Structure formats: C-alpha cells, structure tokens
Amino acid sequence: MVKPERIREYSHQDPKKLRENTLLMAATLVACGIDFEKSILFQQSKVPMHTELCWVLGTITTMPRLAHLPQFKEKSESLKNIPLGLYIYPVLQAADILLYKATHVPIGQDQAQHIQLAQDLAHTFNRRFGQTFPIPHSLISDGPSQRIKSLREPMKKMSKSHTDPKSRLDILDEPDVLLEKIKKAMTDFTSEVTYEPEKRPGVTNLINIHSLFTGKTPDEICKEAVELNTGQYKLVLADIVIEKLSPIRADILRLTKEPAYLDEILKKGTERATELATNCSEEVMNKVLGTDTIQEVKNITNTANIM
C-alpha cells in the first residue's frame, strides 16, 4: 500500500504535495524491485473499506491499550495537541492487515507491539462474531537491516522522520551527499576497524551498513579493512553505498517523470485491492449487523434509485 502521508502532517498537507509524494512513493517501490504484476500496489486512501474496518475494530479495543503503545507515547511527547489520527493509527494498521486476511507481515522490531494489537483484535473479533480473520504473524529479519542505527547517534535507530537529515541515508541522496554523510558519521578515537557493538557502536553501525549492502559478514569486512583506519574505511563504505543506490535513484527520477504510467499502476492495483477488500468488508458487516444486512441495504438503495 502507498501511504506517503505522515500522521502529524496529514490534515495540513497541501493536496498537490500529497499527490507528488504518492507518486514518488509508488516510483520508489517499483524502482526498488516491487513487481506490480505479482504484487498489488495501490493507494490506501482510495479503498474506503480500510477506514470502515478501522471503525469496527475501534469498538473492540480500549483507549488505555492504545495509549500504552510505545510509538504513540514517543510521538505524542513532542506534540502540544495530539490528533485523534495519531491515537488510532495502530487500529488502522490492524485494519490494513486484517482486511486482506494477511497471514504474515514483514516488520521492523519497533512494530512488534502493533502486530500484537492486530493479533488481539483478530482474536477478539473471531471470538465474538465467529471465525473471520487468520491470526497474522510477524516476519522480523535477524539480518543487519535490523541493526542499522543513526549516523549521528549510533545508539538510536536510523529514522526517516528524524529532524536531522545527516542522521540517515536517503535513497534519493545524491552521491556527494551520501559521501558527506558517511564521512561525518559518528565513530570514536580508535583508528582500527573492529566490530564491537557495546564498545564501538559508531564503527559497528558502519560495518552493519556495509554488511547489508554486500551480504558479507562483519568478520569478513573487518579482515578486508585490517590495513585501513576508520577515515579510510568510511570512503570505502561510501563507494559501496553510492554504487548500490545510484541506479535505484536514477530509476526513481525516471519514473517520476511518467506520472500517467504510475497512475495506471495505482489504478489497476486499486481495482484489485477493492475487490478483495469488498469481499472481506461485506463478510465483516454481515457478521456484525446480521446476515444479509448488506444485501438489504443494497436492495433499499437500488429501490431508491429506481424511484
């Protein structure tokens, strides 16, 4: 699903900018290798059943449960007025998952509690209204991607929403920007390149990035860098990152110049997603409101149209 809007900005974002971000996200996913013939790529807000199911699921969870989710606590601390959208966002995430009866969901470790919420909501709904949703299971990689930290604060995760752009590697960064960010990444005063997560988190973070981009183990990387100091190693790493990201960046920029092509991908994806979502939504509403309630509403609507 293409969900480019950030929670804090959604209601204030310029519609033109929102559309640009939507197409940019679609272009990014395609450039990164998502096959839209095999996968359904669509704009979530174009399928209203997401918010309908969110409302239903919202009636079977509680405010204290949502308030205790770590991401809400973290993000709400910096807000003077907390929007309802931020508060119920985990319920919408659960709806995104359950609406398509997903069985496995790839996530980062920071989303584990949100998957637990989706599991609990599925259990609760099934218990009250009969078997409807499979219980989704999380797929959490134990590879280096889960260990990537901020370039400026290597004890914290790398985040796209951090206020300091130098803390992360953005896929659209130009080569000279990537080089500068890696050169200025926080390390320490020891010149050797060693993998010591507790003692040397900064250098360890760079090695993890290296491992992610090449598939090499930290031991292999350290052996290759045995004659390098950390400054020299940063230049080696920058070359690797630039080589891997530059073709993707070029594809993204090319695709963003073809908005009609991206629109067609999203349109076809929305049609496929809507068909799946409609089937699940009708099943849910029939169970909540009573069998054939949806059909009765359709009959009433059709009668009104005829009159």
Strands (E), the chain: 104-107, 137-140
Q: Which of 3, 46, 101, 157 is catalytic?
A: 157
Q: Which of 190, 186, 176 is nearest to 246 (CA)?
A: 176
Domains of the chain: 17-144+259-297 (3.40.50.620), 165-251 (1.10.240.10)
pLDDT above 50: residue 8: no
Give the per-residue pLDDT at 294.
56
By CB atoms closer than 10 A (0-12, 13-18, 19+), residue 87 is middle
In the block, tokens 């049609």 appear at 271
By CB atoms closer than 10 A (0-12, 13-18, 19+), residue 151 is buried
Helix (H, G, I), strand (E, B) or coil at 304: helix
pLDDT above 70: residue 293: no
By CB atoms closer than 10 A (0-12, 13-18, 19+), residue 16 is exposed
Give the per-residue pLDDT at 306.
64
What is the DSSP code (8-state) at residue 165? G
Q: Which of 17, 73, 160, 184 is catalytic?
A: 160
The span from the CA of 172 to the CA of 274, in Å, is 31
What is the DSSP code (8-state) at residue 147? G
- For this structure, is 75 an active site residue? yes
pLDDT band at 296 (very low <50, low <70, confident <90, very high): low
pTM for this model (two decimals): 0.84
The span from the CA of 235 to the CA of 10, in Å, is 39
Q: Which of 3, 46, 75, 216 is catalytic?
A: 75
- For this structure, is 160 an active site residue? yes
DSSP 5-39: --TTTGGGS-HHHHHHHHHHHHHHHHHTT--TTTS
- The mean of the pLDDT values for the chain is 91
Give the per-residue pLDDT at 162.
85
